[in-house]
Amino acid sequence: MGQRALLQRALPAAQNHRDACRTQDRMNVLLLFRRDLRTFDHSALEQAQALGYTCHALFVWDSKWQNTTPAGFARMGPLPRRFVQQALSELEQGLGSMGIVLKQLEGPVLATAIDYARSIGADAIWMHHAWGSEEQADERNISRVFPTRLFTDFSLFETLPKVVDPLPFSFTDFRKKIEAVGLPKPNPKSGPFRSLGALAFDPEADLRSAFPFKGGESHGWARWNHWKRNGLKHYKETRNEQIGTDYSSKLSPYLAWGCLSIRDLWADLKHFEAEFGANESTYWMGFEWLWREFFLWNWDQKNARFYGYRKTEVAETPPEAFERWRTGQTGQPWIDGHMRELLWTGYMSNRGRQNVASYLIHDLGVQWVWGALWFESALLDYEPCNNYGNWTYLAGLGNDPRSHRRFDPKGQQERYDPEHRHSRLWLSEGAEQER
């Protein structure tokens, strides 16, 4: 079910909510936080406050995240969980300064949210529309039994521009058509953007990690403010590197969990270009964010077909080669170094991700779904549409016009890391003990 259809199904509950608003001066609203862990540019929070409603906040640690896959790992691993806990700790403080208490509970989202809403006497549940099959199923089910209102803050666009509706098959066509009609203009009230403290590092992070940063809204803004001063103007030249914190923006975990608003970031990018000038690198930053949009809207139009497979087609257990790949034991240094980096830090460069995915699919002959499941568990920046969109792209089942995108690992290493610095960093003797 696409976004429009989903919102249509929520209309009866939304209408009930509007009717209640007419008769009640002070609504009691439960804000259900999911992938929107911030206070700035948060439509549900801003509107509830503007209307003078009493607000409660809830985050549900979905019990499905701790389900164990047939390969033996949880759907959400310990490193992403730590990042989300950090983001929630900061969100709790931010909401607390507004007089709003953030409650964290664990269990099935539907039952947990409904039970808590009833326990506090909520008149309605407000939440941001999420992208993904399970997330949207939660929205539908909650809206069936409780007055619900949905907001759309996760994408650059509230609705898909007509010029790309229906969505073109290839990203290139999508990008060209979007650019021809013009991208969203920054809100004149926004930016230059917030300076919310110094860049903070996670004390538990591996010192070699390309992403040693803490989760949370202020940490996301501090990261963006640091990188736009030090790395943005050179991004086109550094984006294929693998070592260090400044070869790319490292914003993806903050975007995946909604610590940062993509609309605020887009506005700030345009402010930066207006003040300091645009170049290929600033363009490429926006180019990457359009990839994110492309996969989000692919999900919206394709729904379950977006994943490119049926569950009955997937083997019940992965082959032994998958475990060697997952733990960085294939014997191919370029692949193993990147997989150990992911295992130990929850992060990997874009160049690394394309190569390890290609190797699993085309060299080891393992079903791509297992790779997508491991990324879901391990990545700090896991987000369903972009994760599964990229995996189907590499598997030739998604929107790749070439349909067989295999990378030669030896050739890639000689091109992007001829001195084998990355492999030495993660595969040197005693590397595991150095974690």
Q: Domain check: are 335 and 290 in the same one?
A: no
Residue 221 maps to a domain: yes
Say whether pTM exceeds 0.85.
yes
Do 127 and 31 lie in one domain? The reply is yes
| Residue 433 included in any domain | no
279 and 321 in a single domain? The answer is no
- Confidence class of residue 405 from pLDDT cuts 50, 70 and 90? confident
Rounded average pLDDT over 345-361: 97
The strand pairing partners of 336, in sequence order, are none
Say if residue 23 is in the same domain as residue 129. Answer: yes
Structure token pair of residue 420: 């084998």
Same domain (yes/no): 50, 167: no
**Given a cut of 70, is residue 9 above it in pLDDT?**
no
**Res. 406: pLDDT tops 80:** yes
Please tell me which residue, 258 or 69, carries the higher pLDDT value. 258
**Same domain? 87 vs 221:** no
Express each pLDDT in 315-338 by its tens digit. Answer: 788 899 999 999 999 999 999 999
pLDDT for residue 23: 43
> Domain end: 244, 277, 303, which one?
303
Domain boundary among 303, 330, 346: 303
Give domain status of residue 434, yes or no: no
- Residue 383 included in any domain: yes
Domain that holds residue 417: 308-427
CATH of the domain at 42: 3.40.50.620
Any idea what the CATH number is for the domain that residue 312 is in?
1.10.579.10
User: Same domain, yes or no, for 245 and 324?
Assistant: no
Alpha-helical (H) ranges within 277-396 are 280-302, 320-326, 333-345, 350-358, 368-378, 384-395
Residue 383 pLDDT greater than 60, yes or no: yes
The pLDDT of residue 24 is above 60: no
- The answer as to whether 432 is a domain residue is no
Taking the C-alpha atoms of residue 390 and residue 307, their distance in angstroms, rounded to an integer, is 10
Alpha carbons 67 and 376: distance in angstroms, whole number: 12
